[in-house]
Structure formats: C-alpha cells, structure tokens
Amino acid sequence: MRRGTRATFIAFVCAATLAVSACGGGENNGNNASPSNTPAASQSEGASSAQPTASAGDRYDPPIEIALVGVTDDTLEGVLAKLPGETFENNRWSKLYEDQLGVKFKYNWIAKGPDQFVQKMNVSIASGDVPEFIQVGARELKQLQEADLIMDLRDVYERNAAPFTKEVMMQGGSASFDAATIDGKLMGIPDTRSSIDMAQFVWVRTDWLQKLKLPEPKTMQDVVAIAEAFSTQDPDGNDKADTVGLLLQKDLFGGFASLEGFFNGFHAYPTIWIEDESGNLVHGSTRPETKAALAELQSMFKKGLLDKEFGVKDWGKAAETASAGKVGLAYGQQWLSAWPFQSNHDNDPNAVWKGYPLMSIDDKPANTEISLGTYQYWAVRKDAKHPEALIKMFNAYIEKNWGKTAEFGKYYLPGDAEGAWKLSPVTPEPANKNLDQYLAIVDGVQNNKTSELTGDAKVVYDKIAAYKNGDQKQWSWAAGYDVDGVYSVMKQYKDTDRFMMNKFVGAPTETMAEKSSTLGKLTNETFTRIILGDLPIDAFDTFVQDWKKLGGDQITTEVNEWYKASKQ
C-alpha cells in the first residue's frame, strides 16, 4: 500500500534531513559503494564475525533488552489515538518482538519532531554515546564508521537473514546495500524503500479535457497546448480568468508541483547524476537539455500559462491552488492522487485527475528520473552483545506484513490506523510492493478472482470497490490502483525500462558537504529568474560556469573518483 500522502511526504523530508544534499542527487544515499559487495555476493571478516548469533527461529530466554532512540510526531500520535491502550514504547509491534523473539526495547530518548531528533542525534554522535541499534542517514553512517563506533554487519546479515528477508531486501537491486558499504564493509542494514515509486507523471484533470473537447496528451507540445487551454478557456466555468495552466512552486524540484518530469520530457535530468558521452558522471542541472527546458518554461510564463506567484509559493501553498480547483495540470509522483487531488475531488466530485506517462519533446521516449528510495540505515554499536537481534527484527517485520504467516490487517493496516507500521523501529519494505499489489488487483479483476486477494492488495481493492459503490472519499485509490490508474503507467515504465536512475549513490563527498547549499541556492535562483524572464536564457551558460567555479568541478571530480572505485 502506498505511503503517498501529505503526511508521508513530510515524514520522508524529515528523515532526509539527516543527510546532506549532494547537489540535487544522492542526498539520501550511502557511502563508497561497491556493487560487487552485496550481501549475497560475499562475506567479510569484520568485528561482527566474532559476535554470537542465533538461528532465525530462536527466542532469547531470558529476554534481552536493546537500547534505541526514537522520534514521534503529530502523525504518529494520531495513529496511536486510534489504537487504545498502545503507546510509542508499548504497542503491537513491541509485543510481537518480545513474544516472538525475546527482544525488549529501552529508549534512551524520544524526540518530538525531526528538528529535535537531529539535534539530539548530533549530540549523541559527537559524544560517542550512541544506542546499540541506531537508525541514521548516509552522512551519519559515515561519521559513525570513521569514529570506529559501529561494526561490520555483513556476516551477521548473511547468517541471520531469512531467505524471504533477503528476497525482499534485494527486490530493488543491490543499490541500497551498496550505499551502506564503506571500504568493503557493510556498515548499515538499509531500511529499504522503493525507488521506482519516485517516478514522475503528468497529472491532468480529464473532466476539463472533456469540457474543452481536448484530446489526451501524447507529446510535450500537447502538454503546452493543454496548459494554454486551461489558463485561457475558463475550464472552471466561472467567467473569470483565474485558472492556472501548469502548476509549479518556488523550490522547483521535489514535493508537489515539481518540475523534474517537465525537464525529463526534454531528456534533461536536473536533480541527478548521469553519464555523459564519455561515461563520466555529470550533474544533470548543467547539461544543454536543461537549458532547452528552461527556455520553454520562460516562454510559457511569458504567455501567462504558469502561476504568476509560483516564486513565493511553497508546495503546500501550491497544493491549495489544486484543492481549490484552479489548476488542471501538474507534474509529480504517484501519491498526488491521495494529496492534494483527493481534496480537490472532495470539494468538487466532478474533478477527476489522471496520471499519464511523461511526454517527450521529440520522437525519443521520455525517461523519468529516480534516485535511490532508501534513505536510512540501521547501524549497530561495535560493542553490542546481540547484533543479530536487529536482523531477526527485520525477519519478523517482513514476515508479518508480506510473508506466509502475514497478519497485514493487524500489523500494517488495522482498521483506520493506516500508520500502524510506523510503530515498529525497523520498517523495510519490498521495493515493488505497490506495483505488485496493482498487478494482483488487475489479475483479480480480469480473471474474476478478486475474492482471492489478500494483504495490501485486498485492502486497496476494497477501497476501490467502495469508491465505485459511491464512497467518494476513496476516489484516490481508484486513481492510483484501478486497472487504468497511475500504476498502469508505472507498469509501462518498468516494462519499457524508462527509469533514469541516479548514478551516484555515495555519501555526500567532502566538497558536497561544504558547497551543496551554495550550489543549490545558485541553481534555484538562476532557474527561477530565467523562468520569470528576469534573466535571458543565455544566463544558463553563465550559471554553468559559476556552478563549476563554486565547487561543482571539485564535486564532479570526487563523484567520479567514487564512481570509478565502485566499478572495481
């Protein structure tokens, strides 16, 4: 089941604050990766090899106690409010781990909100006072490794991970493990997330297309034509010139109303590292294709097709424009149907959005850029007595949600407490789980066996059925997972290999840590001023030179050193 709501996006951003931006790519990723060093491929002689282990089915008797730290927020507290008698420390997941594994938790501290968590975590790392098991971002993982505070987990993982756990953890490939590998040692177990779910789509209000008698988009030229029609032909029918053609927001990239997908239509990849013609990595923001996309956006703004106030609107304010029914075209990920388009549908049941594949400016298919979805890793303090307990927790979490003995309705989605999975310290997920549940639903519908659906596929199908029976609050699930929902496009992407993966999955390099903020500000300000027409399009060439002088060249050198090493 998707985690694609506004609250989920906030949670993702909050977690990602533990990592430093790698100039638009790799910000959630790990260190000194070596694709040949995946857990299934090799063993290593690390500190962990001397630690005692137990088979996956053993229960500690007497129970052991593991020190952790935690973070809560309003969303999680809202989930607990729907689960009477349960708390952050004592809940169905903590009971499962104690009853099944003999593992109890002791929280050294629990932060309220991401800012407090980052502050406390920084103090813990600086002082060396870290818990036995600790969840960190890529930068912190590197810091812990350099301070010699954590152990190599490769042997612990190989000996204790259940076969199904290994299958699930590798569903998205080796990149998440590569990212946690430093100097050939697996220093963290990835809390795996989907990378393909970060794919971009063109979201269009089909009721407006029908009202204005416009065809569905097939090309980038069609997208521009639709934007013009939506901004000039009064699609909301109020006899006022108050609708927006294409929605965007002040940060340009990331979140709702982002522009990655628009740029991808010009074969530009502004937030990731890609290979150039010589096989070296370059940052997509500096490529000629990016200039072409900016030129089109400048033209569209001049024609009045973009929100004239986008430069001062964050993605939350942009979402208000969509909820109010003042826009019918936006780029973004699969979760947009849940937020903010469900809100738009709530306000106007005639408002129907559909996710389309990215359109291309020419006859070459437009690929969607994606980065490594995994952004956090579980490290184990070097002197921990039972490092294998972490892997046993991973086994139990994966089994109880997706295994043969799964109790999905109890541990993942009990009733209306959709975030119950968050109560577990470890929360790995199959990289393709959302696409897989879509495929299961399609198979059930087309072969008349929806009664056989189980787990998350059954939950989602029931929501789609509820929508078709009149429950408009479930519209977003149909927009996502019905036969012609946005995941039909995701399947198309996967079947035709249209994912452009960020080639850099290393930790922020030394110069990235120092210069990424400066380069990010330069990029945003220059691109915004070009779109607004405050700068001519040729200012892009000056931007590229400035980007290189202000640290971009050195970062590129460091990234390519990592890339070369990762292939050895």
Question: Has residue 357 got a pLDDT over 60?
Answer: yes
pLDDT score for 1: 55
Cα–Cα distance measured from residue 548 to residue 233, given in angstroms and rounded to the nearest whole number:
44
- Tell me: do 366 and 295 sit in the same domain: yes
Calculate the average pLDDT of the chain. Answer: 90
> Is 340 within 8 Å of 256 (Cβ atoms)?
yes
- Tell me: do 125 and 270 sit in the same domain: no
Question: Has residue 344 got a pLDDT over 90?
Answer: yes
The residue type of 384 is A
- Tell me: do 94 and 174 sit in the same domain: yes
3-state secondary structure 486-514: HHHHHHHHHHCCCEEECCCCCCCCHHHHH
pLDDT score for 4: 45
- Tell me: do 221 and 138 sit in the same domain: no
Identify the bridge partners of residue 103 per DSSP, sorted by sequence position. Answer: 64
The whole domain housing 74 covers: 64-194+375-405
Cα–Cα distance measured from residue 372 to residue 193, given in angstroms and rounded to the nearest whole number:
8
Residue 439 lies inside a defined structural domain of this protein: no
- Tell me: do 217 and 357 sit in the same domain: yes
Question: Has residue 440 got a pLDDT over 60?
Answer: yes
Question: Has residue 28 got a pLDDT over 80?
Answer: no
- Tell me: do 503 and 556 sit in the same domain: yes
- Tell me: do 119 and 102 sit in the same domain: yes
pLDDT score for 147: 93
Q: How confident is the model at residue 567 (pLDDT cuts 50, 70, 90)?
A: confident
How many distinct structural domains can be found in the chain?
A: 2
Residue 429 lies inside a defined structural domain of this protein: no
Backbone angles phi, psi at 557, to 5 degrees: -60, -45
Last residue of one domain, picked from the residues 405, 425, 451:
405
Backbone angles phi, psi at 193, to 5 degrees: -135, 165
Q: How confident is the model at residue 57 (pLDDT cuts 50, 70, 90)?
A: low
In sequence order, what are the residues at sequence separation of 6 or more whose Cβ sits closer than 8 angstroms to the Cβ of residue 75? 7, 10, 11, 419, 422
Question: Has residue 50 got a pLDDT over 60?
Answer: no
Determine the average pLDDT of the residues in 208-227: 98
- Tell me: do 328 and 286 sit in the same domain: yes
Closest CA to 426 of 175, 236, 168, 143: 168
Reported as a single tens digit per residue, the pLDDT across 270-327 is: 999 999 999 999 999 999 999 999 999 999 999 999 999 999 999 899 999 999 999 9
Reported as a single tens digit per residue, the pLDDT across 398-415 is: 999 999 999 988 999 887
Peptide bond into 114 cis (omega under 30): no
CATH code of the domain containing 354: 3.40.190.10
pLDDT score for 566: 83
- Tell me: do 235 and 254 sit in the same domain: yes
Reported as a single tens digit per residue, the pLDDT across 4-25 is: 444 444 343 333 333 333 354 4
Residue 208 lies inside a defined structural domain of this protein: yes
Question: Has residue 44 got a pLDDT over 50?
Answer: no
Angle, helices 510-532/288-302, rounded to nearest 10 degrees: 30
Residue 126 lies inside a defined structural domain of this protein: yes
Cα–Cα distance measured from residue 370 to residue 504, given in angstroms and rounded to the nearest whole number:
11
Q: Quick one: tokens of 18?
A: 């533990």
Query: How many CA atoms lie within 13 Å of 194's alpha carbon, on the beta-carbon side?
Result: 21
> Is 390 within 8 Å of 378 (Cβ atoms)?
yes
Q: Which residue has the higher pLDDT, 565 or 542?
A: 542
pLDDT score for 14: 38
Cα–Cα distance measured from residue 107 to residue 372, given in angstroms and rounded to the nearest whole number:
29
Least confident of 28-32, 54-58, 509-513: 28-32
- Tell me: do 310 and 227 sit in the same domain: yes
Residue 446 lies inside a defined structural domain of this protein: no
Residue 399 lies inside a defined structural domain of this protein: yes
pLDDT score for 568: 72
Identify the bridge partners of residue 107 per DSSP, sorted by sequence position. Answer: 68
Output the CA torsion sign for 516, 121, 428, 146: positive
Q: How confident is the model at residue 34 (pLDDT cuts 50, 70, 90)?
A: very low
Closest CA to 557 of 518, 511, 500, 505: 511
Q: What distance separates the 2 farthest-apart alpha carbons in the chain?
A: 75
The residue type of 36 is S
pLDDT score for 531: 99
pLDDT score for 308: 92
Residue 34 lies inside a defined structural domain of this protein: no
Question: Has residue 47 got a pLDDT over 90?
Answer: no
Q: Quick one: tokens of 199?
A: 């794919």
Residue 113 lies inside a defined structural domain of this protein: yes
Helical segments of 17-133, H only: 74-81, 92-96, 114-127
- Tell me: do 286 and 380 sit in the same domain: no
Question: Has residue 40 got a pLDDT over 60?
Answer: no
Determine the average pLDDT of the residues in 252-268: 97
Cα–Cα distance measured from residue 382 to residue 51, given in angstroms and rounded to the nearest whole number:
10
Question: Has residue 45 got a pLDDT over 60?
Answer: no
- Tell me: do 362 and 254 sit in the same domain: yes
Nearest-5° angle of CA 548, CA 25, CA 115?
Answer: 110
Reported as a single tens digit per residue, the pLDDT across 148-190 is: 999 999 999 999 999 999 999 999 999 999 999 988 899 999 9
Cα–Cα distance measured from residue 212 to residue 418, given in angstroms and rounded to the nearest whole number:
38
Nearest-5° angle of CA 423, CA 424, CA 425?
Answer: 115
